Chain A
Amino acid sequence: MEKIGAVMVVGAGIGGSQAALDLADSGYKVYLIESTTSIGGVMAQLDKTFPTNDCAMCIVSPKLVETGRHQNIDLSINCEIQDVIGEAGNFTIKVLKKSLYINPEKCTGCGVCGRECPVEAIDVFNEGLANYAATSVKYPQAVPLVFAIDKNYCIGCGICQGVCKAKAIEYDRKDEEVEINVGAIILAPGFDEYIPPEGNLYGYGKYKNVVTSIEFERILSASGPYAGRVLRPSDGDVPEKVAFLQCVGSRDYTGKGKPYCSSVCCMYTAKEAVIAHEHMHQIQPTIFSMDIRAYGKDFDKYIIRAQEEYEVRYIRSRISSITEVPETKDLRIKYETEDGTVVEEDYHMVVLAVGLNPPNDAQFLAEKFGVELNEYDFAMTDIFNPVQTSKPGIFACGAFSSPKDIPDTVTQASAAAGCVNQLLHEKKGTLITEKTLPPEIFVRGQPPRIGVFICYCGINIGGFLDVPEVTKYASNLPNVVLADNNLYTCSADTQTLIKDTIKEYHLNRVVVASCTPRTHEPLFQETIREAGLNRYLFQMANIRDQCSWVHMNEWDKATEKAKDLVRMAVNKARNIEAIERIKLPVTQKTLIVGGGISGMVAALNFATQGYETFLIEKQKELGGFARHIYNTLEGGNVQEFISDLIEKINSNKLIRVFTQAEIEIIDGYIGNFKTTVIHGSKKEKTEFEHGVVIVATGAKEYQPTEYLYGQNNKVILQSEFEKLLNTSNDINDKKSVVMIQCVGSRNDDHPYCSKMCCAEAIKNALLAKQKNPNVEVVVLFRDIRTYGFKEKYYREAREKGVIFINYEENEPPEIISEGSILKIKLKTLKMGEITIESDLLVLSAGIIAKREDNEELAKMLKVPLNDDNFFLEAHVKLRPVDFATEGVFVAGLAHCPKTIEDSISQANAAVARACTILSKDEIEVEGKIGEIDMARCTGCGMCIDNCAYNAIELIDDRRFGRVAYINSILCKGCGACAGNCRCAAIDIRGFTGEQIFAMITGRN
């Protein structure tokens, strides 16, 4: 059966969007199917994201806009899957596109219909906390910005039809059924949050001041119901005492909730508590939790900051019920402290940290696509490849396969894309379309002939300011050849008009005064390009979003402001020039530094796709950290997996492996690197070129100096214990094994969680119990962090009699060696001081970065490390495997401690990201970038230090001596360099000093 070079992505949250973008950028046609009416999913609802407190909307909206506009992405909203047939490489899917009752082709998103709609319906986006109209868009920055009528509320009054000047309202618009043919499918439907059922003991639904965390998120949001102020729903007062209850609907064996851990609640609760306090300092948050599961990169630091800087109080207790104080609507919480006393406290507001459920339509999707679900109704995935569903050719990413946070979702999305790449590589580029455009008209040096198009936007602009007056004003500005106004400048017929006008009047600059360039600039740029003008010969004046809409009652002043804005745009337009985007060839070969699991998985993926790959390993053999691991907690056979990988690597002709290898030099930049490697016992030197780099250098196990390790042979590391269990029967004559968690983790030297030690301990405890049921196993822990489905094994261990005892960081166990036994002394809160006798002490040593190696490599690649010497990605949330330096990616333990499955995901994700570069013969660089006037540059180097992208270096020029040089491939055009340059030697194309000067001045 012939493979198809197209992919369907189901679900357009952040995961689906990422997967779609990665694939579309790599040359596949993508059908992005969304069941609601806009994309962005849950992330678009969030206020801030942990652990950086980044504004969610700020970081996600550019990505969504890109998704909505990508030439290779066919986005359909309000869809339902009807039927799926076929197999890996060739599926046919029947999709029902449900009617919006508004013609998306005609709708300009102006929003007049929504404002005029008389029926106040519920706004899903604000979680029922604000009212909205039946004709609505999901939220103000929605992509696509197309309104939809909710027929459940619509009374059919016809007002919207009357006010819509674009004639987009079509009450009788029918549903449409389409058939889509693709080679692979990615399922990213996300999750649904747990909603406490009626009659729940938290009083949710009954007490007004008990809200779920996602509702609270909207309360926090600046675009939420109270515009960012934290107020309680009952009376709009500021709640000074707010309680957050963890594990609502998670880790619940009562049958009311779910037994697994929802993985993200500990962190998002900490974040909500911090933001609440930040928004309003009088708020004092209290968090009730069992374990604090801050297992991700830099998560523990966040928890510490929450406690120390934001007065967040943590109480280790699980709350099962709440009562309301009827007079005050305050909420009474009764809890037991760790020493057993019972306390009763009143709170002004309670936030339930609700868990993540599988999506409500999981069963439906599973059935349609023929994939299996696991015991919790999440998608069942491969034990080593967490994006591979039970059906070949169908992948899952994000919370559909297990609860996870944004970076993990994004990583998995890219990983799924990476797997699709592997499956469909030979069909890459077969289904994408490329527009043929007329040659560009040469306008440099010609006097500006400016055309100004001023938009009424129905009544959105024309109703609040004097458009004809502004048009008249514009026509009298210098160099303006023509000024015209249009009902909708963005409509299809106006595009034709603009093109005709350009030809008729020989315009060489075009100004549109309408809405925001953030959404509409690309459209108009495309139009003028079709008319033969370079797309940068365009300028926009925002007289709607930043003028008519915000001065609705000030006709004269709004008109005057619009004139000024138009004049400023014309002044700039007079100074704009065509910009040619530079194209650079790409060396379609790859370098992977590190031959552990991540490196090998990435290498194989690349090689499968036909890319020549250089794999560099410092040790004599491949395998890395995982060589010491026998099985995963879930039962995966790691040793078998590795040897299988190594065999495949060795037999693949496209992979060149260098062992005992060190990098001497890496030169170059994205698409064009050149590396020299010294390798083998004879220290041979090899030089090669490549287009991308993946850093997969791994990490190492902490070598403890504490707990008598190295001094007493009864004290061993978890890895050594695993070897003992798997290769001998020594466990059979042990009576008692004690494990200590967090050795070399979560302390001052290594202030982070090593993530895998809890699982390792439980895995080994279970195996020990299995081999010798009589052995007593005691685990001394600080928090047990068996997140996600690993929670099951924690429960199993406890059921099998493994004893878990909590200790505090400042009171670690004390080890006394007495002859053949070890005595472990420990202070506990509930039992006082206890002593455990043991014949084997197992230390769960943490994972630490290879500091020297990392520092050296980081310097060569010009990429940063974090405080703990792990590699620091470009963006913690949305670019988890990228570096700010383009063409360089990271995977595996080099990034931070993680499980084998996560490493594999990251490796595939890095491949997918790399493929967006490798799939092209040449890369086109951003047009609006910096350029240096060498005659002015003095080479002081300030710009170099200010550049976040390492795009600038000092060179010795033949004529000008030592001067700065901007690598146009790496430059992103932010202008931090130009803002500081004293000599004004740097300018940013599209935002040149001259252009901005023209906007500031020239008010005549």
Chain B
Amino acid sequence: MILLKDQVAKLYNELSEEYNFFAPVKEKGFIAYRKISNPEEIELNYFNSKIPPKEILFPQNEVLFEFKTDGKNVVEIEDRKDLDEKNILFGIRPCDAHSFDLLEKFFAFGDFQDEIFLKKRENSLLIGIGCNSPKSTCFCTSIEGHPFQKDDMDIFLVDLGDNYLVEGISDKGNNIIQRLSWLSKASKADVKKAQELEKKAQDLITTKLDLTNTSDILESNFGNEIWKEVSENCLGCGSCSFLCPTCTCFDVIDENAQYENRGRRIRIWDTCQFCLYTLHTSGHNPRNSNIERCRNRILHKFSYYPLNYDLIGCVGCGRCIQVCPVNNDLRTIISKINNIKTNEENVNV
């Protein structure tokens, strides 16, 4: 199917009644996903958002429930009522779309099912768009993805210049496309153009990380000297993880209303890069320095994720590379890790 560029508004108008319509907009010089009220705001000509779209389903501050008191005791707990609302995440990138897979795995792992996230995920429709020009820091192809990866979406768009090629991926997506009867049919030339764009985009990704053995190497090199080197200039800020589409750590706090007998429990993003993250009440901190904290981040994504979910905990979006204040480049770190093994193999041989 073909969506003309000037039909985006029409699409919005048709779906925004039923769905909370989230789309990329330009805000303070950066791209952010916002629930929009005016389709003019939508900005699809962009690389990627500053903060990944995970914030739509897993916001930085999220009220888990509210409670009421009679001044002395809690008398009533009010659960979230908005979880049944339907969402459209419009115009997200394949890498970020993949991140929802990882997030889902995390929130559904083990006995505890995080209903809030899962319900929202269930009620969300992903309309993604291929990356015609990936950034130099992108490396999705190293993680079994690519700039036109459609598997994780419900509907996939390709920017053909004047219009978008629309492809229904899931049943959910196809249902929607059926409703949009006014969409025109795609021609063979359109499909071909899309394939060309896909090829061109893939070629633009020059970063190739060999992650085949990384998990194994990491498992056997917990105490390696390399961690000191890798963390040497790390400042311990949370930029990399706050902007990471796959980071899920959160903290839980309670707040009281200022003038009323009520309060709420909120979860807020946290990161393993903060020293407070693992600080025990006793004062003991098992990850007492940047060395352990940097290591944890790498291990979590490239060792624990593969072990637990059989997936790499990274989508190759490159945000952490762009944003690190001291330019502690993930690509460099991975290649350093891969290097250890080679050296040791040499020794062993």
Contacts and interface: CB of A to CB of B under 8 A. Distances in A.
B71 A476 contact: yes
Interface in B56-72: 69, 71-72
A107 to B, nearest CB: 39
Interface in B201-256: 256
Nearest to A479: B72
Nearest to B259: A1003
Contacts of A1001: 256
Nearest to B283: A935
A1004 B261 contact: yes
B256 A1002 contact: yes
Nearest to B71: A476
Label chain A's interface by main secondary structure: loop
Contacts of A477: 71-72
Contacts of B259: 1003-1004
A123 to B, nearest CB: 47
A935 B281 CA distance: 11
B257 interface: yes
A1001 B261 CA distance: 13
Interface string A452-479: 0000000000000000000000001111
A477 B69 CA distance: 12
Nearest to B257: A1004
Label chain B's interface by main secondary structure: loop
Contacts of A1003: 258-259
Chain B CB within 10 Å, residue with most, of A1001, A1002, A1003: A1003
A935 B284 CA distance: 10
A478 B256 contact: no
Interface in A935-960: 935
Nearest to B261: A1004
Nearest to A934: B283
Report, as a range, how many residues of chain B touch the other chain. Answer: 10 to 19
Nearest to A960: B283
A1001 B257 CA distance: 10
Contacts of A1004: 69, 71, 256-261
A662 B180 CA distance: 100
Interface in B39-75: 69, 71-72
A778 to B, nearest CB: 79
Interface in A902-937: 935
Contact of A478 (B72, B258, B260, B283): B72
Contacts of A1002: 256
Contacts of B258: 1003-1004
A355 to B, nearest CB: 63
Given A935-B283, A1004-B261, A476 B256 contact: no
Chain B CB within 10 Å, residue with most, of A478, A479, A1003, A1004: A1004
Contacts of A478: 71-72
Nearest to A1002: B256
Interface string A982-1004: 00000000000000000001111
Contacts of A476: 71-72
A935 B258 CA distance: 32
A479 B257 CA distance: 19
Contacts of B69: 1004
A476 B70 CA distance: 9
Chain A CB within 10 Å, residue with most, of B71, B257, B260, B261: B71
B47 to A, nearest CB: 39
A479 B69 CA distance: 13
B296 to A, nearest CB: 22
Nearest to B70: A476
A1002 B71 CA distance: 10
Nearest to A935: B283
Contacts of A935: 283
Contacts of B256: 1001-1002, 1004
Contacts of B260: 1004
A446 B256 CA distance: 23
Nearest to A473: B71
B66 to A, nearest CB: 14
Nearest to B262: A1004
A478 B256 CA distance: 14
A838 B258 CA distance: 88
A290 B283 CA distance: 72
A1003 B283 CA distance: 32
A1002 B283 CA distance: 29
A479 B71 CA distance: 10
Nearest to A959: B283
B144 to A, nearest CB: 45
A1002 B263 CA distance: 11
B275 to A, nearest CB: 12
A1001 B263 CA distance: 13
Nearest to A477: B71
A1004 B70 CA distance: 10
Nearest to A476: B71
B308 to A, nearest CB: 34
A837 to B, nearest CB: 85
A478 B74 CA distance: 11
Contacts of B261: 1004
Nearest to A933: B283
A959 B11 CA distance: 64
Contacts of B71: 476-478, 1004
A935 B283 CA distance: 7
B67 to A, nearest CB: 12
A267 B194 CA distance: 98
Contacts of A479: 72
B283 to A, nearest CB: 5
Contacts of B283: 935
Contacts of B72: 476-479
B288 to A, nearest CB: 12
Interface string B310-333: 000000000000000000000000
A1001 B258 CA distance: 8
A87 B23 CA distance: 101
A343 to B, nearest CB: 70
A1002 B256 CA distance: 8
A476 to B, nearest CB: 5
Interface in B253-308: 256-261, 283
B124 to A, nearest CB: 36
B278 to A, nearest CB: 15
A447 to B, nearest CB: 12
A417 B260 CA distance: 60
Interface string A475-514: 0111100000000000000000000000000000000000
Interface in B6-39: none
A478 B263 CA distance: 15
Nearest to B256: A1004
A348 B36 CA distance: 78
Interface in A435-452: none
A793 B118 CA distance: 102
A241 B257 CA distance: 60
Interface in A837-855: none
A320 to B, nearest CB: 72
Nearest to B258: A1003
Contacts of B257: 1004
Interface in B89-125: none
Chain A CB within 10 Å, residue with most, of B69, B72, B257, B260: B72
B98 to A, nearest CB: 42
Given A476-B71, A478-B71, A1004-B261, 7 more contacts: A477-B72, A479-B72, A935-B283, A1002-B256, A1003-B258, A1004-B69, A1004-B258
Interface of A: 476-479, 935, 1001-1004
- 6 closest A-B pairs by CB: A478-B72, A1004-B261, A935-B283, A476-B71, A1003-B259, A1004-B260
Interface of B: 69, 71-72, 256-261, 283
20 contacts: A476-B71, A476-B72, A477-B71, A477-B72, A478-B71, A478-B72, A479-B72, A935-B283, A1001-B256, A1002-B256, A1003-B258, A1003-B259, A1004-B69, A1004-B71, A1004-B256, A1004-B257, A1004-B258, A1004-B259, A1004-B260, A1004-B261
